[in-house]
Amino acid sequence: MKDWLQKIELELNGVKLLPLQKEHKKELLQAAADGELWNLWVTSVPSKTSIDDYITTALDNEEEKTALPFIVKDLKTNTVIGSTRFCNIDATNRRLEIGYTWYSKTYQRTGVNTICKLLLLQHAFEELDAVAVEFRTHWFNYASRNAITRIGAKQDGVLRNHRISSDGTLRDTVVFSIIANEWPSVKRALLFQIEKYN
């Protein structure tokens, strides 16, 4: 199961997920500048001072087979608009997490997240035969919690004092998941949502 997850490209409705590379540094910074997303304290979006570590960590995790990071591209404008990844990959137990997701402010609440989640979940359940896909977010990231619920995930619980943030505050992490037998209904709901955006 060492190579359970291979590099892939996924595409739907003018949105494409491509493997993250070091060369995407400038484009990712431009995407994050739309809304100055690095100022959001409840999530981790790269800034000029953190972008190198952000990319290095993502690619190191990919090398270790624990993550598969992507850039998100709007094909209509040929613009990088965000990033997401498969992470915390557990090939033996056929589980993984979708995380590190963020989009330029212009593309938030436009249907892009729904398309990306459909692409990633479809690959996880239909190609990888995953038994569960997990999502995690900060307790105070209400927008993220609502978005995760909207795509059909159910809350599993809260990990109290799960992490120490860079400013020293303690983070409670909310854990959600979608399990394999829920996928057909979740997929139908996502496709319905995408149709509404078209």
- Mean pLDDT confidence for 175-191: 98
- Mean pLDDT confidence for 138-148: 92
Q: What is the pLDDT of residue 48?
A: 87
- Predicted TM-score (pTM) of the model is 0.93
Q: What is the pLDDT of residue 180?
A: 98
With CA atoms as reference, report the closest residue to 70 among 110, 34, 119, 114: 119
Q: What is the pLDDT of residue 35?
A: 61
pLDDT tens-digit readout, 45-90? 788 888 999 999 999 999 999 999 999 999 999 999 999 999 999 9
Question: Chain-wide mean pLDDT for the chain?
Answer: 92
165 pLDDT tier (thresholds 50, 70, 90): confident
Q: What is the pLDDT of residue 4?
A: 86
- Mean pLDDT confidence for 146-168: 93
User: Across the strands, what pairs with 73?
Assistant: 16, 80
- Mean pLDDT confidence for 145-156: 95
Strand order in the sheet with 154-164: 10-12, 15-19, 68-74, 79-90, 95-103, 132-138, 170-179, 154-164
